[in-house]
Amino acid sequence: MTGAASQAYGEAWYWDERYRKEAGPFDWYQKYPALAPLLRLYVRPHQRLLLVGCGNSVFGENMVDDGYQDVVNIDISSVVIEQMKKKYHDKPQLKYTKMDVKNMSDFESGSFDAVIDKGTLDSLMCGQNSQEHAMKMLREVNRILKDNGIYIMITYGDPSYRLHLLKDLQLWTVKLHVIDRWERSSKQTWDLTKPLPLHEDSTSIIGLLGPKPDVHYIYVCIKGNDSPRVGSKAVANESAN
- pTM of the model as a whole: 0.87
Of 113, 105, 117, which is closest to residue 30 (Cα–Cα)? 117
Burial label, 44 (beta-carbon count in 10 A; 0-12, 13-18, 19+): middle
Confidence band, pLDDT 50/70/90 cuts, at residue 217: very high
Q: Which residues does 71 contact at the CB level (< 8 Å), separation at least 6?
A: 49, 51, 60, 63, 64, 93, 94, 95
Q: What is the pLDDT of residues 129-187, one digit of tens each?
A: 889 999 999 999 999 999 999 999 999 988 888 888 898 888 899 999 999 986 555 56
pLDDT given for residue 49 in this prediction: 98
Q: What is the pLDDT of residues 55-94, one digit of tens each?
A: 999 999 999 999 999 999 999 999 999 999 999 999 999 9
As a residue count, the chain comes to 241
> What type of residue sits at position 90?
D
